[in-house]
Structure 1
């Protein structure tokens, strides 16, 4: 039997609460139930409109406005837990604009912690924070293309990341999908190779945003690295910010430059698992 090839389309995050999304229109209340949000004077009303037959491989797909067997966040192939880490660091989800993955070493295994921005927020791969919304381009345009196996390209808005297209078979259908990789510190992907970024040897400034742990008062000023030696990585991985429990530094390699990121609201950087964890510190 011959196999068809198709790409996995970029999917908007299929949130399940109208009150969180704050927008009228279709929504996946669950992966089995398509609903629509209606704005009323006292808030939002959620009205179920279609139940999906998951036993036959049909799941809620908010972009198509129907139950579908197309791969997306609700489909097992694109669902959380299937993200493959290729190195330590933070990666966007290829199919879900509201989700990102923190890859770290647990024992001798490279594992992924899946983080959701929540509400109507979307992940910004340029800043490493949930500063975009589900109405932005990242949620409405496919962020990759896989015309053939082996095809590679830089990830939009962050050329330190790139993807290579691979193939698998799902229900007798050949599926092309992207696997994400990261270049070394101060390198960008040119379509074929990771090459040195312009002025790679100079220390880059760390972007700082005021943060305050949930449920606590902190009037102190956060002290951040200011010298080139403080900014230089001594090991690869995710490193806690000693001055702010909600922030961490990412180092892609030894002698690279530390990149500071703050966990989403309602989470903190858990040093035990080297990832953002729901709760306060």
Structure 2
């Protein structure tokens, strides 16, 4: 077996198939080593990821490497039965090269960015939607998701851009702190993590499974210690309870900037809270509650939390 000249795969019947790797792909493998890989692991991952597949995985127009899908690299060989070409093996980019999970159809290699035809409004099967709206990606700050119903869509930022959850779009990265991800502790069966760029976003990490993200109701933030969404204050003062307009919240300053002590209060019988006063008002006795559009998720199982 040559160092980067080829890979050898032994099939179940004991036959060996020599797979030629182009010089271009060889340079990519060298790049993988320079970014944290190892010769043994790289070859082992590739050998593990290679498997025989049918010609339906992707079209083959010539011998060599090509993209079978947005995240799969395939090897095409001559097909004696048709005189054309067929798929001999495939390689899942995300499995063998986590830092390059996409297949670039222009270069015909695994890449850090997807091909143009694979970007934007393509349904995502890997991100589970729990509510409508924008969500950050758990592990990649240059990627984000938009959920509508049960369908999620992936979006990828250009090079040197990162996702801003505040603006719900990609922005030019000027500081390292603009790249915000959520980290799950390896080896733990389950845990709760918060998204530091927006405390209303939190996730449940499951062992060997994708992290599932949730969104707290409006004006609430996730408390990792309690494991539930809690009311927040935008400033010192009084705020109406959107779910019961006969009640309100009193927010008091603390010694920590941006932190408040919150008390949930109820207006006297026959009154409702009038935000224009602000205070309880007899003319608001027939006030109409404004129910939240989201549902608070309460975790009752015991989990290790990561703030």
TM-score category of the 2 structures, normalised to the smaller one: 0.3 to 0.5
Query: Which has the bigger relative contact order, CA under 8 A and spacing at least 6?
Result: 1
TM-score by length of 1: 0.41
* Structure with the higher helix share, 1 or 2: 2
TM-score by length of 2: 0.38
- Pair member with larger Rg: 2
